[in-house]
Amino acid sequence: MSTTRALSLPVIDFSQLNSGPQSRQAVLEKLGKSAREVGFFYLTGHGISAELLTQVQQVSRQFFALSAADKLSVQMANSPHFRGYNRAGLEITRSQPDYREQFDIGAEREAVTQEDAPVWLRMQGPNQWPAALPALQTVITRWQQQMTAVALELLRAFAEALSLPRHAFDNLYGEYPNEHVKLIRYPGRTSDESRQGVGAHKDSGFLTLLLQDQQGGLQVELTPDNWVDAVPLDGAFVVNIGELLELATNGYLRATVHRVVSPQADRERLSVAFFLGAQLSGVVPVYQLAPHLARLATGPTSDPLNPLLREVGWNYLKGRLRSHPDVANRFYAEYLNNEKRP
């Protein structure tokens, strides 16, 4: 196994989309190439101020510095919507615990109470916010709104890069998309402890945009067992393709396996992730690409132990049940014995 420590991912300046037809076309071509060949890239020129990015990181650190009692008052185990705080080691990836503490936020909506509603609609609902840190809701909600605008523009740029209508993916995104924010702190680990900050996996939505601090640890599997470091780049997001886009393009766009290696014992790592997802009621179609693109599509890849589903709600729920067994056992026990889907 090899690991490359360099700026090994493409860098895309998003502001060049608005710098004239030639620049726009160059950005679209680079987007398509990066997403097909690598599945990861840095996004600069995104238009979100450095001040807001700093505030997001500051308030995230303030949250993780709260007392255990304050954090546990909003623990995810209380939420059928998979919202709230998890201590390190509670989330599972590939049957192993991830050593990161985290706080999950979704789109702020009313809980669905109809008894005959699909079970995956239980994931929709209100967030939990810590009373001890009111600024968290204010700052993260503002960031979520701005990130949604950036991510949607990026999604529509991908449609153009694929020679599809600009709004081709809008119906799948829908009125009630499954947007998701995750604040993550990776504590340091000693050499004799597991270094699985988060295990190797693919993301399930359209796009992920990640704000990193200066502590590395994110690694991307470009080819089997060839991991490259996504070295932190000031002011940039690390963007990766999710399985929805891989499915929708029959594997032309690439959802790439990635992981986080825990920092050394005397350090910690902070990251804040924004996931752009589809509406839970959606079913992922295969979009008809132009022949010169379609012949490069290799078909989506899927873990046989965790197969992809085209039904968005079921696919999201399946992943959450596997990752959060405490919530699954409390609120979804009837779906864990294979008597019901998933």
**pLDDT tens digits for range 54-100:** 999 999 999 999 999 999 999 999 999 999 999 988 888 888 889 99
CA–CA gap between residue 232 and residue 228 (Å, rounded): 12
Please give the average per-residue pLDDT across 2-7, as a whole number.
51
What pLDDT, on the 0 to 100 scale, is given for residue 90? 85
Percent above pLDDT 70 for the chain = 94
What pLDDT, on the 0 to 100 scale, is given for residue 339? 44
Please give the average per-residue pLDDT across 158-183, as a whole number.
93
CA neighbor of 84 nearest in space, from 21, 126, 38: 126
Peptide bond into 232 cis (omega under 30): no
pLDDT of 173 > 50? The answer is: yes
Number of Cβ atoms within 10 Å of the Cβ of 160: 18
CA–CA gap between residue 317 and residue 319 (Å, rounded): 5
Note whether 227 and 3 are within 8 A (CB): yes
CA neighbor of 326 nearest in space, from 72, 126, 29: 72
In sequence order, what are the residues at sequence separation of 6 or more whose Cβ sits closer than 8 angstroms to the Cβ of residue 280?
118, 120, 121, 123, 124, 176, 178, 312, 313, 316
Confidence of residue 205 (pLDDT cuts 50, 70, 90): confident
**pLDDT tens digits for range 211-223:** 999 999 999 999 9
What pLDDT, on the 0 to 100 scale, is given for residue 306? 61
CA neighbor of 132 nearest in space, from 79, 73, 184: 73
Please give the average per-residue pLDDT across 27-35, as a whole number.
94
- Give the SS3 label for residue 7: strand
In sequence order, what are the residues at sequence separation of 6 or more whose Cβ sits closer than 8 angstroms to the Cβ of residue 6?
228, 229, 231
Helices H / strands E in the chain, number of each: 9, 15
Extract the tokens encoding 77: 């185990």
Extract the tokens encoding 195: 């270094």
Extract the tokens encoding 168: 């081709």
What pLDDT, on the 0 to 100 scale, is given for residue 1? 45
pLDDT of 147 > 50? The answer is: yes
What is the rounded average pLDDT for all residues in the chain? 91
CA–CA gap between residue 195 and residue 63 (Å, rounded): 23
| Core vs surface per residue 54-78: b (16+ CB within 10 A) or e | ebbbebbeebbebeeeebebbbbeb
Domain boundaries defined on the chain: 8-335
Note whether 127 and 106 are within 8 A (CB): yes
DSSP H helices, 190-305, are 243-248, 291-294
**pLDDT tens digits for range 33-43:** 999 999 999 99
User: Following DSSP, what letter does each residue of 265-296 receive, concatenated?
Assistant: TT-EEEEEEEEE--BTT-B-------HHHHTT
Confidence of residue 172 (pLDDT cuts 50, 70, 90): very high
What pLDDT, on the 0 to 100 scale, is given for residue 3? 45
DSSP 8-state symbol, 45: -
Please give the average per-residue pLDDT across 257-280, as a whole number.
95
What pLDDT, on the 0 to 100 scale, is given for residue 204? 86
Pairing status of strand 101-106 against strand 180-187: antiparallel
* Topology at the third CATH level for domain 8-335: Jelly Rolls (2.60.120)
Confidence of residue 183 (pLDDT cuts 50, 70, 90): very high
**pLDDT tens digits for range 269-290:** 999 999 999 999 999 999 999 9
Query: 232 to each of 39, 144, 271, 313, how far by Cα in Å?
Result: 17, 21, 10, 33
CB-count burial class (<10 Å; 0-12, 13-18, 19+) for 113? exposed
Number of Cβ atoms within 10 Å of the Cβ of 339: 7
**pLDDT tens digits for range 96-133:** 889 999 999 999 999 998 888 999 999 999 999 999 99
What pLDDT, on the 0 to 100 scale, is given for residue 115? 85
- Give the SS3 label for residue 13: strand
